[in-house]
Structure 1
Amino acid sequence: MIGTIINSVTIVVASLFGMFIGSRLNPKLKESLMRVLGLVVVVIGLKMALLTDEVVILVGSILLGTAIGEVIGIESKLESFGRSVERRFEGSKFAEGFVSTTLLYCVGSMAVVGSIQEGLTGDYSLLLTKSLLDGFASIALASTLGIGVMFSSISVLVYQGSLTLLAGHISALMTEKIIAEITATGGVLIVAIGLRLMELIDLKPGNMLPSLLINPIILFLI
């Protein structure tokens, strides 16, 4: 859970920073830094994806998983859920800051893949990158929404920590090959997130999440 703890602490520190001087930061600087972080995310994703020894299964899992996600409409449903929750707390600045950033930091592919990766392999590098992204977002949001943003760190700790612990227990039932292939599949999702952060393509990584389940199922069956 080291990655999640760092992620939570980063949100707290960045929120405090944002409440005091976040509004003075140059918007162009923030935009440039976010795009550079997007490039870093792509590199991390590629490194993960190259762990695969089963390219055909990887491609098949991504295609089938994305098709399932598109039919279900995972990303659009998550976005709709987020908007409905935000509307319920409209008018309360603390609640708006807490709910908005909780959804932003937790309802996403990077939170899921990063937490699972740490639980399965002990590698929390992806969550460190997510910490940087969440940190910049916290600076910007805390400057307008206030202390509620900082308290979203509790949600991140509970949500991502639970995923990591669950993945850690499941890892005992998996072979090294299956863990490597799940990691590689997650890497493709991370590349998609990075390209989206760089505003190069309009992908919906949330709709690709079923791939993480499809891949081990295929490996178990063959």
Structure 2
Amino acid sequence: MIIGPYINGAAVLFGAIGGAMLAKRMPERLRSAMPLTFGAASMAMSVILINKAAHMPVMVLSGILGALVGEMIYLEKGIGKLGNFARNGVEKILPAPKTGITQEEFLEKFVAIIVLFCASGTGIFGSMHEGMTGDSSVLIAKSFLDFFTAAIFATTLGYAVATIAVPQLAIQLALAFGAVLILPLTTPAMQADFSAVGGLLMLATGFRICGIKVFPVANMLPALLFAMPISALWVRVFG
């Protein structure tokens, strides 16, 4: 029975709602300090995932091609529009806390947490792992981090953060139920390279959340689609 995606989705949903409700009581020092911790955690997790790469050139090439495709189709801009649409729709019913955040700052942070929640290597691997083995421990562990991350970001971004639970749940369920078909076609090297590309995205996300460098993380998402095919081709050509 698949339960991990539901637990993870619920963690984001209730974390965001709780954070938005407690926004006025949340000390400013927590709002500014905790995202730095989340960003550092994302970067630390990325190092572990990248270190698992079976073929480093595969990760580099996938990242480059993915970023090229994302930039050409204006992927981040499209996700930003969806984020703005979600914000406007939710705030008609539940007004966001008045924190003085600008539209540009909202979209910047919103896109970053979409990637963190929906496209992290941990979430993708955890979903596929549960689909094959029934072990939900990876997604349950991720849920603890997502709960507090959603709560902190909701204190500034409002209830719109809760809407991320919908695409996150859909993606994780699709991966979990599709794992039975996908994983038998893969090799350990392909899975390792896939995780490494996910780690690359998480590293860029960590830099963005910490405010060190605003990487166009959403435009890098297509790299995940290139990872396994390029890994398989690399083994076939170079052995």
Q: Given the two structures, how large is their TM-score scaled by the length of structure 1? A: 0.78
CA distance in 1, matches of 2:171, 2:75: 19
Contact 2:4 2:127 (8 Å CA) reproduced: no
CA distance in 2, matches of 1:44, 1:165: 21
Equivalent residue runs for 1:173-184 within 5 Å: 173-184=185-196
CA distance in 2, matches of 1:74, 1:153: 17
Contact 1:4 1:127 (8 Å CA) reproduced: no
Instruction: Encode CA deviations 1:20-48: one digit per residue, 9 max, x unaligned.
Output: 54311112221101111110110001101
Question: 1:120 matched to which residue of 2?
Answer: 128
Question: 1:108 matched to which residue of 2?
Answer: 114
| Cα pair distance change 1:72/1:35, threshold 3 Å | same
Q: Identity percentage over the alignment?
A: 18
Deviation at 1:200?
Answer: 0.5
Q: SS at 1:194's partner residue?
A: helix
Q: CA RMSD in A?
A: 3.4
CA distance in 2, matches of 1:33, 1:54: 34
CA distance in 1, matches of 2:96, 2:66: 33
Deviation at 1:217?
Answer: 1.4
Contact 1:75 1:206 (8 Å CA) reproduced: yes
Question: 2:170 matched to which residue of 1?
Answer: 159
Equivalent residue runs for 1:117-156 within 5 Å: 117-122=125-130, 123-124=138-139, 125-126=141-142, 128-140=144-156, 152=163, 155=166
Structure 2, unpaired ranges of 5+: 98-105, 131-137
Question: 1:54 matched to which residue of 2?
Answer: 55
Contact 2:42 2:205 (8 Å CA) reproduced: yes
Contact 1:115 1:160 (8 Å CA) reproduced: no
CA distance in 1, matches of 2:61, 2:127: 25
Deviation at 1:115?
Answer: 3.3
* Equivalent position to 2:212, from 180, 200, 203: 200
CA distance in 1, matches of 2:8, 2:85: 26
| Cα pair distance change 1:134/1:162, threshold 3 Å | same
Contact 1:4 1:156 (8 Å CA) reproduced: no
CA distance in 2, matches of 1:121, 1:173: 14
Contact 1:106 1:159 (8 Å CA) reproduced: no
Question: What number of residue pairs does the alignment pair up?
Answer: 213
Q: Given the two structures, how large is their TM-score scaled by the length of structure 2? A: 0.73
Contact 1:66 1:210 (8 Å CA) reproduced: yes
Contact 2:123 2:172 (8 Å CA) reproduced: yes
| Cα pair distance change 1:176/1:59, threshold 3 Å | same
Instruction: Encode CA deviations 1:178-222: one digit per residue, 9 max, x unaligned.
Output: 111101110010011011111001101111111111121112323
| Cα pair distance change 1:157/1:68, threshold 3 Å | closer
CA distance in 2, matches of 1:29, 1:107: 17
| Cα pair distance change 1:13/1:127, threshold 3 Å | closer
Deviation at 1:84?
Answer: 4.0
